Amino acid sequence: PFIVTEPCIRCKYTDCVAVCPMDCFVEGPNFLAIDPDGCIDCSVCVGECPVGAIVNAAEATPEQQPYIELNARLAKDPRWKPIRRPQPPLPDHIDWREVRDKRHLLES
């Protein structure tokens, strides 16, 4: 499957959800995750993300590896809900889009 990784945190642009044919994105307070059971590896969401947060799990870097389990876990969290329509990004997305090491800021 494809996975959402760190750049999404505190940005949440949601352009990705508009193109997913399987509706496999779920939403939390400041991050989106992909349900690995729904993803058909079509890859169309990859180019939609303005911060390049979506990658193929099979090609994840060592830094991105933890996001494989994280996406799977959040997709099953009852507090995380499916999201099918784009919405405005988080208000301070500009301040966060270039920031690295945001993992500890992810709210779930």
Are 13 and 49 within 8 A, CB to CB? yes
CB of 39 to ligand SF4, least distance (A): 3
CB of 54 to ligand F3S, least distance (A): 5
- DSSP string of 37-102, one letter each residue: TT-----TTGGG-TT--EEEGGG--TTTTHHHHHHHHHHT-TTSEE--S--PPPTTHHHHTT----
Stretch that binds ligand SF4, among 20-28, 69-77, 81-89, 100-108 (CB under 6 A): 20-28
The binding site for ligand F3S (CB under 6 A) comprises 4, 8, 11-16, 32, 48-49, 51, 53-54
Indicate whether 63 belongs to the interface with ligand SF4 (CB under 6 A): no
Identify the residue among 9, 45, 49, 55 touching ligand SF4 (CB under 6 A): 45
**CA distance readout (Å), 97 to 10, 23, 93:** 8, 24, 6
Secondary structure letter of residue 103 according to DSSP: G
CB of 23 to ligand F3S, least distance (A): 13
Our CB check for ligand SF4 shows the closer of 44 and 99 to be: 44
